[in-house]
Amino acid sequence: MSTSDLNIINSNPTVAPGVELSSQQKTLVGSVLDLFAGHPTLPKLQLWDDKATFEDPITIAEGRKQYEPQWVCAGSSPFVPTAT
C-alpha cells in the first residue's frame, strides 16, 4: 500500500526545532493524528500490527478485532473502508 492510498490529512506534522522525521515516520505520525482527529479509515488502521494494543483511561483493546471498533466509536465522521 502506498502512502498516497492512505489520504493522510496531517501529512506534514509539526515537529520541535531540530527534529526531523523520515517519510515513514511522517506517515505513521500523520495517520495517528488523523485517527485522533476523527478521521479513521481501514487503510490507516492497516499500518497497525494485528497484535497491537490500544489503551486509554476507560478501555484496553488487544488485537485488531478489539482496537478497530474503538476507532469506529471515536470517529466524528462515519467509518468507511476507503479513504474519503
Mean pLDDT within 73-78: 53
Q: How many CB atoms lie within 10 A of CB 50?
A: 9
pLDDT of residue 5: 82
- pLDDT of 74 reads 58
User: Residue 12: phi, psi to the nearest 5?
Assistant: -130, 75
pTM: 0.73
Above 90 in pLDDT, residue 33? yes
- Give the 3-state secondary structure of residue 61: strand
How much is the mean pLDDT over the chain? 84
Query: Which tops the pLDDT comparison, 17 or 67?
Result: 17
Q: Where are the domains of the chain?
A: 3-74
